Amino acid sequence: MKKIKTIEDLGLDYEIVEKLKSNGYNTLESIATARVEDLKEILGIPEQIVREIIYLAMKNVDVHIITGLEALEKRKSIKRITTGSKSLDELLGGGIQTKTITEFAGEFGSGKTQICHQLSVNVQLPEDKGGLNKSAIYIDTENTFRPERIMQMAKALNLDDKKVLENIIVARVFSVDQQIFLVENKLEELIQQKDAGLIVVDSLTSLFRAEYIGRGMLAARQQKLNKHIHDLSRIADMYDIAVVVTNQVMARPDTFFGEPTIPIGGHIVGHGCNYRVFLRKAKGGKRIARIIDAPDLEEREATFVIVSDGIRDEDVIKKRRK
């Protein structure tokens, strides 16, 4: 019996295979981890047949059932990207991890986009310098990507600024549907073509927030957002890639003590992102980063600054003042 290695080996009709491929389902793994509802809508065939296709794909991919000791060994293979600040790296357990989604939430000017720019440069560094020697894919939903800032940060690291820009793929999106379509249908192809090590979504929720207005639209918004985050999570794990998303915040008028704002997206974003970092401004041009949720890190804070060179530790300012 022929071993099933590709979707062509599943014995499906040519039209079904083409529909799967055109919608971003190019591997057995992508089909095995797909939702029945999604494939049913794409293929236009009965649910039972869709389930049979998914189950057949499942039978021919490695099942993620391992011992705790094997899980420990697997965790050792996870790579990290430096943020440019030792303090922020330590807060994150050594930097931004691959195979995970890291969220940076905060008010306007708190440093979210600056961190995204810095990571898009740093991912291109050699591994011994805190990078992955790979390119970045930057999904820009708010028109905040600035190539001039990338050039500043690259020059500060003695990198060829034009080459660094060449290795950042920028996708400017204007609607929720376009954002979802990009992740579902184009992202995996771009990752393989460009050998990407980082995906940035800046910001994750802004378009959802703008298009789905009012409590009557909340359920539909959260449903789409939930699937979108799960798609990003699947891609992060499948391609051993780091995913960084930014998130807006909203006021908490009922709160008299503690943090007066909370990230947008509620429990959907909270459960979907592996590491959640809240950013806020502090005196003297400093920024405070606080871990608000992480599976293996304690809730604590770190201080960093944003200077012309990029994201750095706060002692940079002290040294420059001397």
Provide the pLDDT confidence category of residue 35 given band limits of 50, 70 and 90: confident
Question: How far apart (Å, rounded) are the C-alpha atoms in residues 49 and 243?
Answer: 33
Do both 223 and 295 map to the same domain? Answer: yes
C-alpha separations of 157 from 51, 84, 310, 315 in Å: 51, 10, 10, 18
- What's the confidence (pLDDT) of residue 258? 56
| 167 and 281 both lie in a single domain | yes
- Tell whether 149 and 13 lie within a shared domain: no
pLDDT the model gives residue 13: 93
**pLDDT for the residue numbered 2:** 61
CATH code (residue 317): 3.40.50.300
45 and 174, same domain (yes or no): no
The predicted structure's pLDDT at residue 47: 94
In a domain, 277, yes or no: yes
Integer Cα distance of 261 and 279 in angstroms: 11
45 and 182 in a common domain:
no
Note whether residue 79 is domain-resident: yes
What CA–CA distances, in Å, run from 228 to 184, 187, 244, 289?
A: 8, 12, 14, 26
Nearest to 6 by CA among 23, 25, 32, 28: 28
Query: Is 2 among the domain residues?
Result: no
Average pLDDT over residues 96-101: 97
- What pLDDT, on the 0 to 100 scale, is given for residue 15? 93
Q: How many CA atoms lie within 13 A of 115 on its CB side?
A: 36
Please tell me whether residues 160 and 247 are part of one structural domain.
yes
CB 105 within 8 A of CB 277: yes
Same domain, 37 and 168: no
282 and 312 co-located in one domain: yes
Q: Between 64 and 175, where is the model more confident?
A: 175
> Taking 90 as the threshold, does the pLDDT of residue 66 lie above it?
no
Residue 29 has pLDDT above 80, yes or no: yes
State pLDDT tens for residues 247-272: 988 876 565 555 668 888 888 898 89
Total tally of structural domains belonging to the chain? 2
Residue 5's pLDDT is what? 82
pLDDT score at 120 = 98
Strand-pairing partners, residue 322, are: none
Give the tens place of pLDDT for each residue, 285-315. Answer: 899 999 999 999 999 999 999 999 999 999 8
Q: How confident is the model at residue 244 (pLDDT cuts 50, 70, 90)?
A: very high
How much is the pLDDT for 256?
52
* Residue 259 pLDDT: 65
Contact of 230 with 243, CB cutoff 8 Å: no
The full length of the chain comes to: 322
Please check whether residues 253 and 147 belong to one and the same domain.
Answer: yes
Q: For the ranges 17-21, 135-139, 173-177, 252-256, which has the lowest average pLDDT? A: 252-256
pLDDT at residue number 27: 85
Clarify whether residues 55 and 123 are in a common domain. Answer: no
Backbone torsion region of residue 101, taken as left when φ is above 0, otherwise alpha when ψ lies between -120 and 50, otherwise beta: beta
Q: Provide long-range contacts, Cβ within 8 A and 24+ apart, for 302-307.
A: 302/85, 302/87, 302/88, 302/90, 302/91, 303/87, 304/83, 304/85, 304/87, 304/88, 304/111, 305/85, 306/111, 306/114
Residue 212 CA, chain-centre distance (Å), reads 22
Average pLDDT value over all residues in the chain: 91
* pLDDT at 63 > cutoff 80: no
| Structural domain harbouring 30 | 7-59
Q: pTM here?
A: 0.84
133 and 16 in a common domain: no
What pLDDT was estimated at residue 261?
81
| Higher pLDDT among residues 317 and 176, named by residue | 176
Mind listing the pLDDT tens digit for each residue in 114-124? 999 999 999 99
On whether both 151 and 253 belong to a single domain, the answer is yes
pLDDT the model gives residue 21:
86
> Which of 310, 307, 304, 303 lies closest to 321 in space, CA to CA?
307
pLDDT at position 277: 97
Report yes or no: 8 and 21 within 8 Å, Cβ to Cβ: no
